[in-house]
């Protein structure tokens, strides 16, 4: 029960983050006609989410490696098992647009 609720919360948080990124991309799109095809706001938002999560993950791996911290390889919640560094990176990437919007950055 709690596993499904956790999974649903994670999916909703990711969708909310993508929605905020799509809204930001729509406001920055240029209205001038272009010859080459433009990526959709949704594809740009997903690309930014994955890029941000990847950069944060690499930074966390380097910090843990440099400081020689002992972290569990996997964390298991009922039937879900995940890497704590990867989940932290996704969490930071998900909340990044909200923090950016809170402080007024584009």
Q: Residue 90 in contact with residue 18, Cβ under 8 Å?
A: no
**Per-residue pLDDT tens digits of the chain, which is 106 residues long:** 678 888 888 889 888 888 888 887 777 665 555 566 677 888 888 899 999 999 999 999 999 999 998 988 898 888 888 899 999 999 999 998 888 888 876 5
Rg (C-alpha) for the chain, rounded Å, is 17
Please give the Cα distance from 81 to 10 (Å, whole number). 14
Task: Give helix 84-102 / helix 41-67 axis angle, nearest 10°.
Answer: 120
The residue count for the chain: 106
Which residue stretches of 1-106 are H helix?
2-28, 41-67, 84-102
pTM passes above 0.85: no
């Amino acid at each position: 029960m709690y596993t499904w609720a956790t999974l649903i919360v994670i999916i909703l948080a990711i969708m909310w983050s993508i929605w905020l990124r799509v809204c930001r991309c729509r406001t920055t799109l240029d209205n001038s006609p272009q010859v080459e095809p433009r990526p959709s706001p949704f594809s740009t938002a997903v690309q930014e989410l994955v890029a941000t999560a990847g950069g944060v993950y690499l930074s966390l791996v380097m910090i843990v490696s440099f400081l020689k911290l002992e972290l569990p390889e996997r964390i298991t919640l009922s039937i879900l098992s995940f890497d704590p560094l990867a989940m932290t990176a996704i969490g930071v990437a998900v909340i990044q647009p909200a923090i950016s919007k809170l402080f007024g950055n584009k």
